[in-house]
Structure 1
């Protein structure tokens, strides 16, 4: 196609193509310079020497384990609730409601504020999912686990009108 054009037009076509290539390369270079080279990189500790004594000037930090926030909201305590749920899910007791209640109690949640559904159906088959909850002020921390659920699910929702967290009949927590 460029051969059919007069020499001046061929030059314009070539120069426009060259300009596009140069702009594209420049744009890619700018974008590459703006993006992090390793998003997973952690800061490397460095050491400075003050008065002949080496002193670390930066230390890598690890995320703190979630803890109970007694004066906090349900949202404040969701990280701990989720962590406990995931820890129990990783054990052989993963489909046992009592295991979640016991682990949440051990983490500091009030057993009297909890509800849990049955581990078995009315005909004795293992439940497809188990729900458990902690009533926290005007909200509920709710967890759901089981073969039908896949990965554990934890959420914060408002308390139901009846003052409970779970709908329907729940299992007595009498242990």
Structure 2
């Protein structure tokens, strides 16, 4: 005579058997080795990185260079606020603008107080890129070259560093 499990024991036995059958397919297998690529010297040169933002355009007029001028000056303003004329000019020179084409106003007033603003200019093809740094913001414009051949009216400081 054959005995059939019933009740809780039967249900437990049935679940155990089902679990064994389900897990029998979950046998851990060793992953097959894959080929590891080796670094080889390539005779093909890497493509030049294409600039993603504004760039200096030496052959173009002020309008073609304003975005780059503003980008550099906004970086200076974000890092230093109004800052000082020398650091502003140095950043522009480091990024390709010509020092001999620049003018900058003094950092201090005649009585030694910090100037309310610093103005920097770059002469480009008979026009002037002008950037003004105040305590609160930076702004710029493109203006015609003055009859004097300069961009700024009034006293400017020598750029002799």
TM-score tier by shorter-chain length is 0.5 to 0.7
User: Structure 1 residue 125 and structure 2 residue 113: aligned?
Assistant: yes
The structural deviation recorded for 1:107 is: 1.1
User: Structure 1 residue 172 and structure 2 residue 154: aligned?
Assistant: no
Q: Which one of 86, 95, 100 corresponds to residue 83 of structure 2?
A: 95
User: Structure 1 residue 158 and structure 2 residue 130: aligned?
Assistant: no
TM norm structure 2: 0.66
SS of residue matched to 1:134: strand
Q: Which runs of 5+ in 2 are unaligned?
A: 1-50
Q: Is the 8 A contact 2:122 2:129 kept in 1?
A: yes
SS of residue matched to 1:141: strand
The structural deviation recorded for 1:121 is: 0.6
The structural deviation recorded for 1:155 is: 1.0
Q: Which one of 61, 67, 70 corresponds to residue 82 of structure 1?
A: 70
TM norm structure 1: 0.61
Q: Kindly provide the CA deviation profile for residues 104-157 of structure 1, in whole angstroms up to 9, marking residues without a partner as x.
A: 00110000000000000111111001101001111000000122xx32011111
Count of equivalent residues: 111
Q: Which one of 75, 100, 111 corresponds to residue 112 of structure 1?
A: 100
Q: Which runs of 5+ in 1 are unaligned?
A: 1-62
Aligned structure 1 segments of 4 or more residues deviating by more than 2 angstroms = 92-95
**1 or 2 for the larger relative contact order (CA 8 Å, sep ≥6)?**
2
The structural deviation recorded for 1:92 is: 2.9
